[in-house]
Chain A
Amino acid sequence: MKINLLQIIFQIINFTVLLFLLRKYLYRPVLKILEQRAKKIHDGLEAAEKSIEEREKVEKEKKKILVEAEKNASQILEGARMRAKKLEKQMLEKAEKELESKQKRAERYVNTRLQDLEEDLKKRFITSVVETSESLLKDTLGPKEQRVIIKRQIQRLKNVKFS
């Protein structure tokens, strides 16, 4: 086999030119694209990490808010319970007082009514006794008894002084 030096030189020059051209117009842009992509991926990863961190932060904040909200709700609920209890107690006391007052009024009314009835009964009884006594006296006192009474009254008249 015969080696053609010129051809070899030509081939070397040709390869060099090709290499130069490849380097200038293919390798660099591809490298640039790759670098850009790598950067994009890196940025994306960073963004994802940041996003995860943000999310975790948000989750933490959310939990904190929830805990605080629960705590607040619990406090509000407790306060409401206490107020309700207080109100219930006040209402009970008021109701008891009103009941007591009503009972006293009722007692006073009943006592007054009883006294009135007692008084009325007493009056009726006295009136009845007096009327019966009068009637009995009228029936019992005949002319004979009347004369006796008149005689006694005349005797008593002697002791009466008219000025």
Chain B
Amino acid sequence: MNEQHLVPTIRARADVLTAVHLTKSEKNDISRILETSAGKTLAVNFHVMPEVIAGISIRIEDQAYDATLRTTIEFLKERLFA
């Protein structure tokens, strides 16, 4: 078996932000889903920031997915101010 096929090449970095610590299972699920979605191998870094209140925020290179409660509240606030 070719060893190069067993060691995946890291092509991009992904940052995952949550309000609470994730379980190992959750981290694995997220990493797998992200790699499938991005179509490439990722180096996923998990960060904990209670200020986001709840939900997940993801950044892969110049793309972002924000589903935190903090962002939802900020969006709602902006709409109310408008």
Contact = CB atoms under 8 A, between A and B. Distances in A.
A154 B56 CA distance: 8
A134 B37 contact: no
Contacts of B67: 153, 156
A126 B80 contact: yes
Interface residues of A, number: 26
B30 A157 contact: yes
Interface residues of B, number: 29
Contacts, number: 71
Interface in A117-163: 122-123, 126-127, 130, 133-134, 137-138, 141, 143, 145-147, 149-151, 153-154, 156-158, 160-163
B73 A133 contact: yes
Interface of B: 18-20, 22, 26, 29-30, 33-34, 37-39, 50, 53-56, 58, 60, 63, 65, 67, 69-70, 73, 76-77, 80-81
11 contacts: A127-B77, A130-B73, A138-B53, A143-B20, A146-B20, A149-B54, A154-B26, A154-B30, A162-B63, A163-B38, A163-B63
